[in-house]
Amino acid sequence: MAEKTYLQAISDGLRQELQRDERVFVIGEDVGVYGGAFKVTLGFQEEFGPWRIIDSPLAETAILGACSGAAMMGMRPVAEMQFADFISCGWDHLVTVAAKQRFRVGTPVPIVVRLPSGGGFSGGPFHSQNPESSFAHIPGLKCVCPATPEDAKGLLVAAIEDPNPVLFFEHKHLYRRIKGEVPDERYVTPIGKARTHREGDDITVITWGAMVYTAEEAAKQLEGDDVSVEVIDLRTVMPWDKAAVLASVRKCSKVLVLHEDTRTGGFGGEIAATIAEEAFEDLDAPVKRVCAPDCPVPFSPVLEKAYIPQVEDVVKGLRELAAY
Amino acid sequence: MAVREAEPVGSFSEVREAGLDREDLLAIYRHLLVTRGIEERGHILYKQGKIPGSFYTGRGNEGAAVGVATAMGPDDVGTPLHRDMGVHVQRGVEPWKIFAQYMGREDGPTRGRDGNVHMADAKLGMIAMVSHLPAMLPVAVGCALAFRIREERRVAVGWFGEGSAARGDAHEAMNLAGVRRLPVVFVCDNNQFAYSTPSHLGYAIEHLADRAAAYGFEGVVVDGTDVLAVYREAKAAIEKAREGGGPTLLELKTLRMEGHAVHDDAFYVPKELFEEWAQRDPIERFRSWLLENADLAREEEDEIATRVKKILNDALTRAEDSPQPDPATLLDGVYATPEDLDTPHHK
């Protein structure tokens, strides 16, 4: 066990899978010689060669389509989109081919698509998005959004083992900022199981990705108000751990759903609707959402701060719920 | 690298040189008849209201489909489209399963989850198409990439049409295949009409095969109604890919002899064009060739026709007996389980 950054944990997990399973290969833009835009695959090409760490042309549909074909031939491809935003260029392939092939003809498509996502450093409208909700809406795809280094490694291993197309959203703002203990050996963190990031009794915050830390900070501030806040890290949004969410809701009776994606059609709406349907009697206040507004991600640091939910936005929401 | 226009096939000796004996030729003839028979019967079923949705045929493309499929090796894979029924037939899909597929029954390859030619049998090396037509080209390239990574002597064949050539998937797939010299053959069924849109509104060059040069590999234009020429050129391209020679783009020229689907009477296709291409019907053309070059006897011809008729009759009866899918199983297979990986492809 050693302390590692979130980025190092992803890199180590991927390297271990490449070492133990020769069916695993990596394809993406600049993943080889350059080691990836964020250096997740730094040194991989020297270790595994140019036919397992494949520098592709700038062509997301070709990358994802080739992954599906190779997966159908028994490989375990791991694609890197240089930024999660660029998956729009491969949307058709994922949604039309990869997501539906098992249902239509019984052919599984075990691919992993790594998606450096999220904002917080002036990436602007095309290098900052969190498109997980769009894909959670597509039956046949799985969406994974780890928040800790330990989960990042364990969920990546689970994603590679999974017989379905798995979108692995790795939050760029966590890459080098978040460190944690990560086991050296191989382990699998199951897809579809939430994690209690912080225990509490009065209000539960349901969130994932970088917002886990925003929620944690806000929860600390609420200690001063003598309000105990639980933080549930969903870890995967499709499938999502409905049982864990409902259990926490029943315990705390008040809920705040927090995500960095935009509000309308964001996955928080699905969570709120499910709570309304299945735990209405347990609620002591309306479900509250704190999300980005319905707006593209802006470039200017001032505007971006107004866009991404901040600790004070969550604190405000929690205080309103506490007072209800 | 200029595009090459393939010569027609002449004598039997030329065919033998390309790897076919008389048995093979008769098998091709049978596959052509079964292919057309399935689609003709399917059209009747559709008119009888027994096929839900819409119905597509590949009339005029039977020779192109059977010719390419005959050139593929047993371990090769492919992504045939909706004019390529002949590929499924040649690879050995049982016709009753195709009728069951048409009718949305439980025994069709997609168990009622998808319709018409949106099907494939993985055991036969086929991958099911989607409606977004060139989308399967990057998939075929990915199959070839797997073969290249594992250094297997296998080839992938990716199909598209002249209409879908306008989409970006086609470009991305060919570009990646060219850069990596992957063992893949691109087959363009150029039937001159994308639904109602004629070729000259779809692309601005003389031959689509001209594009191959832009990706660094050879393009060949073939008369798609000449099953033997298609076979010869496909065989050469597939074996070249197998030997590490990289991709080839084969453009098989035909005319779509019916509407886009059976609801479409194709009023926009000039009558003279239909008349001209009717003279080049791939099945009639091959039959004449067999009579002239392979001593096809009248009794032999009758025997094949009788056999094909029986195959189709039996298939229809069996398909009509196939149950409807059970709505209780609707959600089966939305997500794959680890056991699903136990398939021919994944071994």
Q: State pLDDT tens for residues B254-298.
A: 999 999 999 999 999 999 999 999 999 999 999 999 999 999 999
The pairing of beta strand A166-171 with beta strand A142-144: parallel
Q: What span, in angstroms and rounded, lies between the C-alpha atoms of B174 and B170?
A: 6
Residue A100: list chain B partners with CB under 8 A. Answer: 130
Q: Are A257 and A206 in contact (CB under 8 A)?
A: yes
Q: What span, in angstroms and rounded, lies between the C-alpha atoms of A202 and A321?
A: 9
Quote the pLDDT of residue B343.
64
For residue A127, indicate whether it is catalytic: yes
Q: How many helices (H) and strands (E) does chain A have?
A: 12, 14
Q: Which residues of A276-299 are buried (b: 16+ CB within 10 A; e: fewer)?
A: eeebeeebeeebbbbbbeeeebbe
Residue ranges and CATH numbers for the domains of chain A are 2-182 (3.40.50.970), 195-323 (3.40.50.920)
Percentage of residues of chain B with pLDDT beyond 90: 93
Identity of the residue in B110, B135, B343 whose CB atom sits nearest the CB atom of A93: B135
- Give the three-class secondary structure for B248: strand
CB within 8 Å of chain A, chain B residues 70-109: 77, 109
Q: Which CATH architecture has domain B4-322?
A: 3-Layer(aba) Sandwich (3.40)
pTM, two decimals, is 0.96
Q: Find tokens 């004598």 and name the residue.
A: B11
Average pLDDT, chain B: 95
Token reading at A228: 């105990």
Identity of the residue in B144, B149, B334 whose CB atom sits nearest the CB atom of A25: B149
Q: What span, in angstroms and rounded, lies between the C-alpha atoms of B156 and B175?
A: 16
Question: What ipTM was estimated for this complex?
Answer: 0.96
pLDDT band with cut points at 50, 70 and 90 for residue B341? confident
How would you class B64 by CB atoms within 10 Å of its CB: exposed for 0-12, middle for 13-18, buried for 19 or more?
A: buried
pLDDT for residue B346 is more than 80: no
In this complex, is the C-beta atom of A92 within 8 Å of any C-beta atom belonging to chain B?
Answer: yes
CB within 8 Å of chain B, chain A residues 226-285: none
- CA nearest to B108 within chain A: A105
CB within 8 Å of chain A, chain B residues 178-207: 179
Q: Residue A194: what residue type?
A: A
Q: Residue B323's CB: how many other CB atoms inside 10 A? A: 10
Number of C-alpha atoms within 13 angstroms, CB side, residue B89? Answer: 31
pLDDT band with cut points at 50, 70 and 90 for residue B38? very high
- CA nearest to B169 within chain A: A61
| Mean pLDDT in residue range B68-87 | 98
Quote the pLDDT of residue A21.
97
CB within 8 Å of chain A, chain B residues 162-181: 168-169, 172-173, 175-176, 179
Which residue positions in chain A have pLDDT lower than 70? none
pLDDT tens digit string along B300-314?
999 999 999 999 999
Q: Which helix (H) or strand (E) holds A158?
A: helix A149-161
Quote the pLDDT of residue A219.
98
Q: Residue A239's CB: how many other CB atoms inside 10 A? A: 13
Quote the pLDDT of residue B3.
84
| Mean pLDDT in residue range B219-237 | 97
The whole-angstrom distance between A76's CA and the closest CA on chain B is 10
pLDDT for residue B2 is more than 90: no
pLDDT for residue B11 is more than 90: no
pLDDT for residue B340 is more than 80: yes
Residue A139: list chain B partners with CB under 8 A. Answer: 334
pLDDT for residue B1 is more than 60: no
